[in-house]
Amino acid sequence: MSVLKIVRYPEPVLLTVGKPVTEFDVKLKTLVKDMFETMYAAKGIGLAAPQVDVSSRLFVMDCSGGGDETQKIAAINPEIIMHEGEQIGDEGCLSFPGLYQQIQRNMRTIVRAQDVDGNLFELDAMELTARCILHETDHCDGIVFLDRMTPLKREMAKRKIKKLQKTGEWE
Ligand SMILES: [Zn+2]
């Protein structure tokens, strides 16, 4: 297993719609293992393939941060099939180091995806888990959390990123 390099905004791969996964082979399983390792090393709770420079529709997540095996999820070709309610809360992203913003998301969502062997499953999630699923599925669609901010907050975030780029803290 290896820790992969996480790309930062505005790398084009982050703004590109990922290709559907069609091969459930060793290569995919290795990528998923590496993505889990990369996510835990970065102390994140979710990581999508475009964030490691792979333009494919998949993500890994673990809202327990490694403490609870049942929270460890790999979702291949995720599709949001239901969402309802709303929640507002702080959100971060491993491709936006040090940037946290309040983002409105659905309170509940159901995602349909495939596991690493290609078997379909559905996950009905609430609160933080739902927020994470929606954030990571967005990555598969080339959408970053900046796009989910209000215009005012987006401008503030962009200004902060520019500042960090100038001081070399963003690379
Ligand atoms: Zn993210």
Mean pLDDT by 10 residues, the chain (171 residues): 94 98 98 97 97 98 93 97 97 94 96 98 98 98 96 93 89 73
Instruction: State residue 147's pLDDT score.
Output: 96
Look at residue 35 in the predicted model and tell me its pLDDT.
98
| Distance between Cα 149 and ligand 1 center (Å) | 13
Query: How many whole angstroms from 39 Cα to the centroid of ligand 1?
Result: 11
* Rg of the Cα atoms in the chain: 15
Q: In angstroms, what is the span from residue 108 Cα to ligand 1's centroid?
A: 19
Query: CA-to-CA distance for 102 and 156, rounded, in angstroms?
Result: 12
Phi, psi for 149 (deg, rounded to 5): -85, 160
- What are the residue numbers of the active site? 136
Question: 88-98: string of b/e by CB count within 10 Å (b at 16+)?
Answer: eeebbbbbbbe
Whole-number pLDDT of residue 58: 98
